[in-house]
Amino acid sequence: MISLRNVSLVYPNGVHALDKVNFEIAKGEFVFLVGHSGTGKSSLLRLLYREARPSTGEITVDGIRVDRLRRRRVPALRRHLGVVFQDFKLLTDKTVWENVAFAMQVTGAHTRDVMRQVPRVLDLVGLSHKSRMYPGELSGGEQQRSAIARALVNNPKILLCDEPTGNLDPSNTSEVMELLLRINLKGTTVVVATHNQAVVDRMRRRVVRLEDGRIVTDEERGYYYLGLGQGQILSG
Amino acid sequence: MDWGKVRFFLGEVLRNFTRNASMQATAIGTVAITIVLLGLFLFVRAALAGMGAHLLDQIEISAYLANDATAAQVTSIRHLLAADPRVASADFVSKKQGLTELRDRTKGVIDTALLTENPLPDKFRIKVRVPEEVPAVAASVRRLRGVQNVVYGQTIVQRLLQLGVVLRRVGIGVIIVFLAVAGIIISNTIRLTVFARRREIAIMQLVGATNLYIRIPFICEGLLDGLAGSLLAVAILAIARATLWPKLLEALPWIQLNVTALNPGVLVAELVLVGGAVGVVASWISVGRHLRT
């Protein structure tokens, strides 16, 4: 579903954000990208939805060669992807319903489909009863669930999450992670970039660890820290 | 037809348009001022053209005859003029007729009753087909026997027409500058609304909206700015036409203002079209700039 070969990303200021990254993600996988801030997690996700282009290397997402993708073709790629951010990126002057519907409306969806699809995803994220509320009236977890609903409304095959729980307290965090798990169980490939150790350790999923723009470990059912059991925290 | 889509789209445009009301007012005002100036310019140009044509039409050569010119000489002059292909018409104006005309022309200004005798000579009033040939015709008439003096207002007419050309050029320059200014202000307005909506645009791009889809509401906004500005300008011009125009005619009776050539419907259409076009082009450019970065 996702494949990176020798992908490097050098920013114009000379910083090496990613250095010869190789890995594959299969359809239906749930993968954590972990590492300290600035180790290239977000950069890697940005390459996947073509917010950035790699300096070298090949990137394939859902059969599309993203590194070679023309600007004109980017919208088509993004319709296969859902992206979720730490800061939710909801429009504060629109209701939950309008925010979710917006993602369909601006891609030219037929109103009939909007009316059918929006209630479906709102039900999935458990916000049907709050669809008329504005983001400002919701808790952080509810806002993030709205953002996830928006990311899912176009039925993407892949959901990319960049620090989805970064702004949430622990109870909202587990709420959101459970939702992501449920979405994954329905067959959507989910990639979560995070530095939330508790989340990673509890979920026991594949963990790809980045350090200074390189993949240092890639474990099935991994922990946040390499080879450490739950509850053990390295200092420093 | 998907009315839900239409409603969503119009809602977005309207929301944009009303969100930044003071900026929109500035843009609309600038367009209005520019279009008013453009309208005035077109109007002045039409008036000048009309005046020029009128003056050219009026150019005539007065060939004053010597007091001692014989009847045979007069007849010969008449025949020669009638035979000249460059001459459109040649009318003999007697002293008496000349004085009557002078009296009519200067009525209330100069009291011609004070004249104890008629100082005017007989003359031929000659009209030439092509204004450019006036000097040549005048020169050949001057050589005729019995003609004492030849007068025509060519110099002043030439100067007036040159003045017209200069005014037109300056006017076009001024209009271009003002349209550019209006364009820049609209594009800045759009840029501000683009900036205000950058989150929205980012989300649109994120979920796979095409650039055209992102662009259209802003283009509509620019179009609305342009149209609103030009309609406002047309209203101002119409009011000016109704209130100031008669006063102007009254104050400047000696100016041959002839603007019948100006079709008001066409003028309004031109102005509104220019306003809308400036709005569309300006917003297209400023959204494009944002989308590329």
Kindly identify which residue of chain A lies nearest to residue B217, measuring between CA atoms.
A106
Summarize the confidence of residues A39-44 as an average pLDDT: 90
Reply yes or no on whether the pLDDT at A14 is more than 80.
Answer: yes
Q: What is the pLDDT of residue A85?
A: 93
Beta-sheet strand order (sheet of B87-93): B87-93, B123-128, B61-65, B147-151
Predicted TM-score (pTM) of the model is 0.72
**Regarding predicted confidence, which is higher, B102 or A77?**
A77
Q: What is the pLDDT of residue B261?
A: 56
Chain-chain contact of B203 with A75 (C-beta, under 8 angstroms): no
Chain-chain contact of A79 with B5 (C-beta, under 8 angstroms): no
Q: Which residues pair with B63 in a beta bridge?
A: B124, B150
Q: Tokens at residue B84, please?
A: 């000249």
Q: What is the pLDDT of residue B167?
A: 73
Name the nearest CA neighbour of B183 among B16, B24, B291, B31.
Answer: B31
A48, A83, A105, A153: which to substitute to probe chain B, counting the most B Cβ within 10 Å? A105
Summarize the confidence of residues A54-62 as an average pLDDT: 94
Whether A114 and A105 have beta carbons less than 8 Å apart is answered as: yes
Summarize the confidence of residues A161-168 as an average pLDDT: 92
Percent of chain A with pLDDT over 90: 69
Reply yes or no on whether the pLDDT at A234 is more than 50.
Answer: no
Query: Nearest CA to CA, how far is A198 from chain B (Å)?
Result: 29
With an 8 Å Cβ cutoff, is A94 touching chain B?
no
Whether A68 and A145 have beta carbons less than 8 Å apart is answered as: no
Chain-chain contact of B208 with A89 (C-beta, under 8 angstroms): no
Chain-chain contact of B4 with A150 (C-beta, under 8 angstroms): no
Kindly identify which residue of chain A lies nearest to residue B293, measuring between CA atoms.
A51
Q: Where are the alpha helices (DSSP H) in A21-165?
A: 41-48, 74-78, 96-105, 111-124, 140-152
Give the span between the Cα atoms of B138 and B90, in whole angstroms.
Answer: 12
Kindly identify which residue of chain B lies nearest to residue A75, measuring between CA atoms.
B208
B267-278 pLDDT, tens digit per residue, is 888 888 988 998
Whether A190 and A184 have beta carbons less than 8 Å apart is answered as: yes
Summarize the confidence of residues A20-43 as an average pLDDT: 91
Contacts of A110 in chain B (CB under 8 A): 2, 5
How does residue A66 score in pLDDT terms, banded at 50, 70 and 90? very high
Chain A segment 30-69 residues within 8 A of B by beta carbon are 49
How does residue A235 score in pLDDT terms, banded at 50, 70 and 90? very low
With an 8 Å Cβ cutoff, is B210 touching chain A?
yes
Give the torsion through C-alpha atoms of A28, A29, A30, A34, to 10 deg. -140
Reply yes or no on whether the pLDDT at A227 is more than 60.
Answer: no
Chain-chain contact of B209 with A75 (C-beta, under 8 angstroms): yes
SS3 B87: strand
Chain A segment 160-219 residues within 8 A of B by beta carbon are none
A175-190 pLDDT, tens digit per residue, is 999 999 999 999 999 9
Query: Nearest CA to CA, how far is A219 from chain B (Å)?
Result: 30
Of A29-38, A81-90, B156-165, least confident by mean pLDDT is B156-165
Nearest to B210 among A75, A103, A110 (CB): A75
Nearest to B203 among A75, A89, A110 (CB): A89
Summarize the confidence of residues A146-158 as an average pLDDT: 94
Beta-sheet strand order (sheet of A158-162): A81-85, A158-162, A189-194, A30-34, A206-211, A214-219
**pLDDT tens across the length of chain B (293 residues):** 788 888 888 888 888 788 778 878 888 888 888 888 888 877 777 777 777 667 766 778 888 888 887 888 888 888 888 888 888 888 888 888 888 887 787 777 777 677 777 778 888 888 888 776 777 888 888 888 888 888 877 676 667 667 767 877 887 887 788 788 888 887 887 788 788 888 888 899 999 998 888 888 888 888 988 899 999 999 998 898 888 877 877 776 666 555 555 677 888 888 889 889 988 988 888 888 888 76
Chain-chain contact of A89 with B207 (C-beta, under 8 angstroms): no
Q: Which long-range contacts (CB under 8 A, 24 or more apart) does A228-231 make?
A: A230/A201, A230/A202, A231/A201
Give the span between the Cα atoms of A109 and A98, in whole angstroms.
Answer: 14
Chain-chain contact of A111 with B209 (C-beta, under 8 angstroms): no
Q: What are the two backbone dihedrals, phi and then psi, of residue B253, each rounded to the nearest 5 degrees?
A: -70, -20
Q: What is the pLDDT of residue B278?
A: 86
User: How many CB contacts within 8 angstroms connect chain A with chain B?
Assistant: 60
Whether B127 and B153 have beta carbons less than 8 Å apart is answered as: no
Q: What are the CA-CA distances from residue B151 to residues B59, B143, B237, B258 (Å)?
A: 11, 13, 42, 26
Kindly identify which residue of chain B lies nearest to residue A83, measuring between CA atoms.
B206
Reply yes or no on whether the pLDDT at A151 is more than 70.
Answer: yes
Summarize the confidence of residues A41-53 as an average pLDDT: 92
Of A140-144, A149-153, B57-61, B204-208, least confident by mean pLDDT is B57-61
Chain-chain contact of B213 with A107 (C-beta, under 8 angstroms): yes
ipTM: 0.85
**Regarding predicted confidence, which is higher, A60 or B109?**
A60
Q: What is the pLDDT of residue B156?
A: 67
DSSP category for residue B131 = G
Q: What is the pLDDT of residue A231?
A: 42
Chain-chain contact of B203 with A102 (C-beta, under 8 angstroms): yes
Give the span between the Cα atoms of B6 and B12, in whole angstroms.
Answer: 10
With an 8 Å Cβ cutoff, is B250 touching chain A?
no
Q: What is the pLDDT of residue A181?
A: 94
Q: What is the pLDDT of residue A4?
A: 94
Residue for token digits 């954000």? A17
Chain-chain contact of A76 with B203 (C-beta, under 8 angstroms): no
Kindly identify which residue of chain A lies nearest to residue B209, measuring between CA atoms.
A107
Give the span between the Cα atoms of A83 and A106, in whole angstroms.
Answer: 16
Give the span between the Cα atoms of B119 and A210, in whole angstroms.
Answer: 112
B24-46 pLDDT, tens digit per residue, is 888 888 888 888 888 887 777 77
Give the span between the Cα atoms of A127 and B201, in whole angstroms.
Answer: 25
Contacts of A62 in chain B (CB under 8 A): none
